[in-house]
Chains A and B, each alone.
Chain A
């Protein structure tokens, strides 16, 4: 069994071992479906629709963070393990800018100076925008100082650097702002009657709003990547770094731009999810795993794949784990396991995911 073939890749059906493992996974999936089928029928249409909407709700957030992961992967073929913590940090900045002291009773000392939350009386939207700008600067600085010195084909140093960042950001946030969860205001109406009723199920405005934000983000990305010069450079670098360097693209700056963009979008995702999860330093820990799964389904280098993957993971989580949990409450703890199994299956059978480019290794 050699590791690299030149030219053709073995097709799905040629390999009996993969066929057998695929069959095993398929049988398990079918058995699971039959197992939960009574619950789906019992629950009725309304519950099903509600689960669907919940899935879309989570899926939008996974998609936003997955897009940020994919941006970095496309540019540098790296996985940024600190992505979630960067987003958390950005969300905290938005929180500090937006929430007035009366709301939060939050004051903290930063060295010699005493700040209190909301020291800039900005509206929530403006606060999120400023936080995104600050995160972008942080992302760019991280790329320039910590990532660029290393050879991207040597994975271990980069894994260590981003894990180190993960630890630092998490504990610094915990030190500054402690680990108590705090309520984060939502951009969208959160009243109890802020929903559209479809078949008895509630599609909340916040879900629609999150999807609108995701759509706007997609449009912005499309505009930047296909209509601007730096976007062109970004696509060139992600397609072939060496050749773009030779034709005069400033690779370093372009990668910095990619990191900045990713950090900004991560913060946006954090601000979208914070009203639901509350804001605290560990808020992104499990979300990041789901977003990894989303990015993996879509193919780690495909932006639209990240969105599709986000929806898929959101739906799998809310439907499968939801109905399994109805069947037996013991299964309620299995949410993360689903993400792990999804990552495993996708990487095993189709590492390029649904939309990613498959790589052919040359000897």
Chain B
């Protein structure tokens, strides 16, 4: 019955490159067209959901970095998103900052807070860390409404805080995107801003994970003692992971404000945010980069749809069922499953090392021709 994959690609061959480039081009075209299609078919409201899914993806990527790649069960990422969001509103409203200036600041502050909170994770592990971080996520909202040290003034306390000026497209962008200056149509502009930031965040994280620090982080997860013996600096890399993942969370917080223009402490609690992030991570696939996107879309749209049916209580049950079902039947999540399926359809053979003899035959095959392929769309 099993006759192997239908297509086989040699890595580095022109057909493989064509496949890779082609799929990226398709993906890019889809990402550009998607908001317009949604706008045409369902209205601008759906574009807002799309934006939400995008920054959820970044936040989930942050959770994934710690939970999936470094193997530390830290569940308090809702707080990092909250820090990014409140910081943005505070800087823009009270100091007249620009949206663009808040991005590096939020990322830097998020990184610092993450490093600080990563320090306990050096000693506290496993379930204990899960416990501690859940408590942290539960505490964060009440800290944000503390009417002391100016915290409640900066965050709006229990009422939350609106942004004074929403993110509006400059005129050149308006004409480029084909939108006018009404507040609703800014969703399209916000989509592209958020999309670019999301792509940058994913690209940076992917590169981080494929480089030396990434290998160290994964080595720590797989065998901590082994990694330490091989010379991996455990404290450095663990706190680094926490820092980067918190920075991603804070970036998601900035995008949250770009999209919604509001932040309220109750949105950043354990049940309202940390749980959906975790559910998204598990649905998409733990320790997969693409999984963060898939999970974010599932979480955001499931939640919005159950809400629109007046059944928002049941979205929680649904999340719970999904958590249990995925853990039981598909521990790799959607992406893990898709990778399995993809393995049946196509296979990529890794490029043989330099100078290796390919195959058993004595005559080596001619090297793959270096032809720039045309995108096979």
Contact = CB atoms under 8 A, between A and B. Distances in A.
A3 B127 CA distance: 17
Which among B139, B234, B275 has the greatest number of chain A C-beta atoms within 10 A? B139
B139 A340 contact: yes
B282 A160 contact: yes
B172 to A, nearest CB: 46
A309 to B, nearest CB: 13
Contacts of A363: 225
Contacts of A2: 225, 228
Contact of B146 (A79, A164, A333): A333
A108 interface: no
Contacts of A167: 275, 316-317, 319-320, 323
B124 A340 contact: no
A343 B132 contact: yes
Given A175-B314, A333-B146, A165 B225 contact: no
Contact of A347 (B120, B142, B324): B120
B225 A3 contact: yes
B146 to A, nearest CB: 6
B135 A340 contact: yes
Interface residues of A, number: 52
B131 interface: yes
Contacts of B326: 160
Interface stretch (A212-220, A225-233, A235-243, A285-293): A285-293
A135 interface: no
A171 B126 contact: no
Interface string A132-169: 00000000000000100110000111011101111110
Interface string A165-183: 1111011101100000000
Contacts of A335: 142
A156 B73 contact: yes
Given A3-B224, A164-B324, A347-B120, A81 B134 contact: yes
Contact of A289 (B73, B138, B234): B138
A161 B324 contact: yes
Contact of A155 (B130, B228, B271, B320): B130
Interface in A329-363: 329-331, 333-337, 339-340, 343-344, 347-348, 351, 363
B123 A175 contact: no
B148 A328 contact: yes
Nearest to B135: A340
A155 B75 CA distance: 13
B145 interface: yes
B331 interface: yes
Contact of A149 (B136, B148, B328): B328
A339 B328 CA distance: 33
Contacts of B177: none
Given A289-B138, A343-B131, A160 B146 contact: no
A69 B336 CA distance: 34
B225 A168 contact: no
A292 B135 contact: yes
A344 B128 contact: no
B235 interface: yes
B135 A164 contact: no
A111 to B, nearest CB: 15
A316 B240 CA distance: 34
A171 B139 contact: no
B135 A333 contact: no
A88 B207 CA distance: 46
A163 B323 contact: yes
B303 to A, nearest CB: 12
A289 to B, nearest CB: 5
A150 B328 CA distance: 9
B124 A347 contact: yes
A56 to B, nearest CB: 23
Given A3-B224, A146-B324, A168-B321, A343 B135 contact: yes
Contacts of B148: 328, 330-331
A165 B234 CA distance: 34
Given A330-B146, A330-B148, A363-B225, A78 B127 contact: yes
B228 A79 contact: no
A160 B123 CA distance: 22
A1 B120 CA distance: 15
A296 interface: yes
Contacts of A78: 127
A296 to B, nearest CB: 7
A25 to B, nearest CB: 12
A171 B317 CA distance: 6
A337 B142 contact: yes
Contacts of B75: 159
A352 to B, nearest CB: 11
B196 interface: no
B338 interface: no
B130 A79 contact: yes
B147 interface: yes
A161 B327 contact: yes
A41 interface: no
A352 B131 CA distance: 14
Contacts of A174: 313, 316
A30 interface: no
Which among A81, A159, A168, A344 has the greatest number of chain B C-beta atoms within 10 A? A159
Contacts of B143: 333-334, 337
A79 B228 CA distance: 28
Which among B135, B148, B314 has the greatest number of chain A C-beta atoms within 10 A? B135
Contacts of B134: 81, 289, 292
A348 B75 CA distance: 18
Contacts of A20: none
B278 interface: yes
- Considering the complex of A and B, which 3 residue pairs feature the smallest CB-CB distances, nearest first? A167-B320, A164-B323, A171-B316
17 contacts: A155-B127, A157-B327, A157-B331, A161-B327, A163-B323, A167-B323, A168-B317, A168-B324, A171-B313, A171-B320, A330-B148, A331-B146, A331-B148, A340-B132, A347-B131, A351-B123, A351-B128
Given A79-B131, A347-B124, 8 more contacts: A156-B286, A159-B130, A168-B324, A300-B128, A331-B146, A336-B142, A344-B135, A351-B128
Interface of B: 67, 73, 75, 120, 123-124, 126-128, 130-132, 134-136, 138-139, 142-143, 145-148, 152, 224-225, 228, 234-235, 271, 275, 278, 282, 286, 313-317, 319-324, 326-328, 331
Interface of A: 1-4, 77-79, 81, 146, 149-150, 155-157, 159-161, 163-168, 170-172, 174-175, 285-286, 289, 292-293, 296, 300, 328-331, 333-337, 339-340, 343-344, 347-348, 351, 363
